Amino acid sequence: MKQENITAWALDELSEEEKAQIEALLKDDAETQALASHTKDFCQFLTAELGTDSLTLNADQRERLEKADLQLLESSAEPPPTQAKPQPSWWRRHALVNLSAAAAVVLGTTVLIRQQMEQEQITEGQVMSYVQPGGEELRKQDATAVDDEMLLSRAAPVPMEAPKPASPQTESDQRRDITLGFAKNEAFSDSYTGSTEGSKDSPALRPQSQNMTDLAAAAAPAKPASPPPPPPVAAALGDSSMMATLSGSGTVSGRMSMSAGAASTEMMQRVGAGQLGNDDLETNGRLSPPVVGLLFGNRRDTETYTAITENRLTDVLREPLSTFSIDVDTASYANVRRFLNQNTRPPRDAVRVEELINYFPTDEDGPAANAKEPFAVKVEMAASPWQPAHRLARIAIKGKQIGKDRQPSNLVFLVDVSGSMGEPNKLPLVQQSLRMLAEQLGENDRVSMVTYAGGTQVVLASTSGQQKAEIMAAIDRLNSGGSTHGSAGIRLAYEQAVAGFIKGGVNRVILCSDGDFNVGISDPTELETFITEKARSGVFLSVLGYGQGNLHDRTMETLADKGNGNYAYIDSLSEARKVLVEQMNGTLVTIAKDVKIQVEFNPAIIRSYRLIGYENRLLAKEDFNDDTKDAGEIGAGHSVTALYELVPANLPPGTEPRPAVDALKYQPTAPAAEPAAPAGDAAGEALTVKLRYKEPEGSTSQLIEVPVKDDDRALDQAGQEFQFTAAVAGFGLLLRESSYAGTLTWEQVRQRALAGKGSDPLGYRGEFIQLIEKARGLSR
């Protein structure tokens, strides 16, 4: 028996049927039974010890931490006294509890220090001076061409003992001019190129490219054995955390890359799209060798999300029709998971409920083999878990599977290799993702690759999918550096796709980026127009988002929506495998485009309704029959689900929702019209679901119509898929702190998810149940 099954049993994460199966197996295996018993005891211990823990500081803890941090930031040059190490006997008995408490303190301290740094603003465009003990003051220098949005802030200097020179130095030897030139602040790479004037103690640097860790050794004289390094000389730079060490004498001129480093005495935080201009930043000063310079910048979070205003309850008599475009994007779920795994609540606008729901493949049947429609439609109604007197209507669409015999494909990998993509969870993860996709390609597939940064280039001409060595070599050669000329890259990628167009095949551009387009087309409206025009050529677009801190989710979503494609966020290698391997056909092969849904509600049965999610996919009712209006696409095997919350017309007295507008006092109000009696065979129908779609290369839409009756089913009587969908929707409502969450609790969400978990062969639903626990802990 697998250890994860035992753990799930011990944590009570299994359905009743699964629990019974596990317990039956345990009866026949004494050794496994003992292991399971110990596991359950340990889980109960954890629950008891950590059940009341919270990451939230109380008022007393916060006050003490703030005082401690302020003392640290304002400390003098005297090092803090060493305190006696406490005896660890209590720690041995309560290791787990102490570890949790320590983590909470570290988290709180980090946040408070960062807030303190941001509060102390310094004159814009200025690099601060620093006085070395035993040395001379570095002159203040102005950074030229600094963007208006640049802010400088300062932390207290870290006191260090000044070094003593190994031997007397001349004026020229002691003086050092450092010029750091950056075409853009994103233009950091992994190497340094430059030259120095040699001296008797410091050999000249030859023009070369070398790792930053070797830079100090190349420029420095022999180090004294005992003195510690001198105070850091700090220059405020850039968009990312960075550190460099310099030592020796002479004049260095060139481009220097940065690697992750520790906090320094000077900080600059980049706000919005601010950048460090196109000119050089010069720091000139008299330094006693050996000298260490720290260059450090602290990235400010610049992630952007489209603002979401939740759909409201709408009166059926006033608006009997609800119309929207389907959405197969799943990026929001992976992004939310990233936040929760980092013990952070996601921003409200990062939580798009429909994308949370559509992340999970459903165990439902697609269309029959001989069906002319490319997907099957199923509608189910049951009670709402957060408003028991209300009803939920679940509309589920399941696309047909196409098997392994898919059409030939013409794929263009469009890869952002700008400086902002240099982090481990960006370009390196992109390379791993594309390698996995390339492994799935065959003789009927062709792939090319375009990169963009400050400029664009074709790094792989159209190549057969069988030539994997060439494809892998091109992927391996990718490296980051430069600004982000996204529009030029998109234009070149579409040119490549059109040049290799396969009639009747899959023609698609796959964009891999963090969405930080700062050269060329950057405005979402311009992007919409450009991508919409290109989509008419028959080349569709898949967008894969990477990274954190400056993820431009709004831009990525816009590109995918207007490019007749889908948007996924890749936060891990396992997510890349899900999108590009397990669901490859759904990602690449479109079976229906411009799919719209229109629901008509019967006012005799339904008083009001609310569409949950899809806020940025709403359409006018006239758009449903207008074949010129763009809508969403469905890929092979895709599952698409929509939920409506419904207020019945026959609610018991006193339970009716508050009217949207109070009755007028000074003039008569026309009485509300009585709903007309449903005609003929429509009697008893609560609603009718209509869908329109086009074939992938068609221009005329087809209509599907599904009438629905409410059989007054209780929530516990609903199917597994209904219950799991309700759990995911409730999860999103609680994360968004929605006013429509009603009486819902995290425990109710968990129980509903367990009831709807099913067989879960890929483990996605089990992972979701774990995320519920993380979200609950962060909500205390």
* Mean pLDDT to the nearest integer, 267-278: 31
pLDDT interval class at 68 (50, 70, 90):
low
| Percent of the chain scoring above 90 in pLDDT | 44
Residue 229 covered by a domain:
no
The answer to whether 493 and 450 are in contact (CB under 8 A) is yes
Contact predicate 414/493, CB 8 Å: yes
Same domain, 463 and 542: yes
Of 50, 68, 89, which residue sits at a domain end? 50
Domain identity same for 372 and 429 = no
In 3D space, the residue among 562, 490, 497, 556 whose CA is nearest the CA of residue 533 turns out to be 562
Vertex 335: Cα angle to 334 and 341 (nearest 5)? 85
User: Could you tell me if 701 and 561 lie in one domain?
Assistant: no
pLDDT confidence of 102, banded at 50, 70, 90?
low
Same domain, 438 and 506: yes
Residue 439 falls inside a structural domain: yes
Task: Report how far Cα 268 is from the mean position of its chain's Cα atoms.
Answer: 25
Residue 636 within a domain = yes
Burial grade of 255 (CB within 10 A; 0-12, 13-18, 19 or more) = middle
Instruction: Report the predicted TM-score, pTM, of the whole model to 2 decimal places.
Output: 0.63
Say which DSSP state 106 is in: H
Give the CA dihedral 68, 74, 77, 83, nearest 10 degrees. -10
- List, for residues 286-303, the tens digit of each pLDDT value: 333 333 333 333 344 678
329 in a structural domain: yes
Return the closest-CA partner of residue 416 out of 184, 147, 186.
186
Of 562, 588, 614, the last residue of a domain is: 588
- Asked whether residue 584 falls in the same domain as residue 597, the answer is no
Residues 600 and 621 in one domain: yes
Q: For position 41, what pLDDT does the model report?
A: 79
Specify the pLDDT at position 489.
84
- In this predicted structure, the answer to whether residue 34 has a pLDDT above a threshold of 70 is yes
Residue 416 within a domain? yes
* DSSP secondary structure, 548-585, as one string: SSS-BHHHHHHHHHHTT-EEEEE-SHHHHHIIIIITHH
Q: Are 611 and 322 in contact (CB under 8 A)?
A: yes
| Closest by Cα among 775, 745, 738 to 349 | 738
Q: Using omega within 30 degrees of 0 as the cis cutoff, is the peptide bond preceding 653 cis? A: no
Average pLDDT over residues 488-513: 91
Q: Are residues 432 and 559 in the same domain?
A: yes
Last residue of a domain, one of 588, 608, 642: 588
Q: Of 580, 650, 391, 410, which is closest to residue 508 (Cα–Cα)?
A: 410
Reply yes or no on whether the pLDDT at 335 is more than 90: yes
Tell whether 420 and 485 lie within a shared domain: yes
The answer to the question of residue 89 being in a domain is no
The CATH number of the domain where 606 resides is what? 2.60.40.1230
Mean pLDDT of 227-242: 38
Residues 385 and 397 in one domain: yes
- Write down the pLDDT at residue 534: 81
Is the pLDDT reported for residue 26 higher than 60?
A: yes
Q: How far apart are CA 234 and CA 292, in angstroms?
A: 10
Sequence length of the chain is 780
- What region does 125 belong to: left with phi over 0, alpha with psi -120 to 50, or beta? left
**Is residue 374 predicted with pLDDT exceeding 90?**
yes
| CATH number reported for the structural domain that contains residue 528 in this entry | 3.40.50.410
CB atoms within 10 A of CB 613: 26
Question: Domain range holding 16?
Answer: 3-50
The pLDDT value recorded for residue 19 is: 81
Look at the chain and report how many structural domains it folds into: 3
Counting Cα atoms < 13 Å in the Cβ hemisphere of 8 gives 25
Same domain for 457 and 327?
no
In a domain, 210, yes or no: no
Average pLDDT, the chain: 74
**What are the tokens at 70?**
């302020």
Q: Which two tokens stand for residue 482?
A: 């430069």
**Using alpha carbons only, what angle is made at residue 244 by residues 239 and 248, rounded to the nearest 5 degrees?**
145
CB within 8 A of 157, min separation 6: which ones? 130, 231, 265
Residue type, position 359, single letter:
Y
Same domain, 615 and 519: no
CB 608 within 8 Å of CB 300: no
Q: Is the pLDDT of residue 248 over 70?
A: no
What's the 3-state SS for 297-365? Answer: CCCCCCCECCCCCCCCCEECCCCCEEEEECCCCCHHHHHHHHHHHCCCCCCHHHCCHHHHHHCCCCCCC
Q: Give a three-class secondary structure readout of 66-93.
A: HHHHHHHHCCCCCCCCCCCCCCCHHHHH
Cβ-contact 397, 376 below 8 angstroms:
yes
The region of weakest confidence among 28-42, 216-230, 486-500, 651-665 is 216-230
Tell me the C-alpha distance between 342 and 351, whole Å: 16
Residues 453 and 370 in one domain: no
At residue 723, does pLDDT exceed 70? Answer: yes
pLDDT of residue 318: 94
pLDDT digits (tens, 9 = 90+) for 418-466: 888 888 899 999 999 999 999 999 999 999 999 988 788 999 999 999 9
- Backbone torsions φ then ψ of 375, nearest 5 degrees: -150, 160
Angle between helices 764-778 and 331-341 (to 10 degrees): 50
Indicate the residue type of 404: K
DSSP-derived secondary structure letter, 682: G
Q: Residue 551 pLDDT more than 50?
A: yes
Is 184 part of any domain?
Answer: no
Cα(139)–Cα(131) distance, rounded to whole angstroms? 9
Between 88 and 536, whose confidence is greater?
A: 536
According to the model, what pLDDT value does residue 597 have?
98
Predicted local confidence at residue 221, as pLDDT: 44
